């Protein structure tokens, strides 16, 4: 996790961050630095599985999962299911 964090420009200390309201059980922060893809950081802070939904026009890659993206996107709507206390870091796939 630390290696991934160090390799992502969006996590630079001077980068911008925006707290998002996507689900009451999920702490969501969008981190970004000019000229690099943003990273959407999602943390399920509950003891239950939750599904997060949001709208957007960009595909995402889960940079904490070796299998690739767990995000399901269709017609500008995205969903991701997080297990209890699970974390997902989703990089905007703009390249």
Cβ distance 82 to 88 under 8 Å?
yes
Q: Quick check: 68 pLDDT over 70?
A: no
Once rounded to an integer, what is the mean pLDDT over residues 26-54? 93
Q: What is the pLDDT of residue 23?
A: 94
Q: Among 64, 50, 57, 59, which residue's Cα sits nearest to residue 11? A: 64
Q: What is the pLDDT of residue 7?
A: 66
Once rounded to an integer, what is the mean pLDDT over residues 11-40? 91
Q: Quick check: 17 pLDDT over 80?
A: yes
What is this structure's pTM? 0.83
């Amino acid at each position: 996790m630390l290696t991934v964090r160090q390799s992502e420009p969006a996590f630079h200390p001077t980068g911008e961050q925006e707290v998002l309201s996507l689900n009451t059980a999920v702490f969501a922060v969008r981190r970004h630095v000019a000229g690099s893809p943003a990273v959407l950081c999602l943390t399920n802070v509950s003891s239950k599985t939750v599904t997060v939904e949001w709208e957007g026009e960009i595909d995402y890659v889960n940079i904490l999962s070796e299998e690739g993206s767990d995000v399901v996107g269709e017609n500008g709507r995205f969903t991701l299911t997080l297990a209890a206390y699970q974390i997902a870091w989703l990089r905007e796939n703009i390249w």
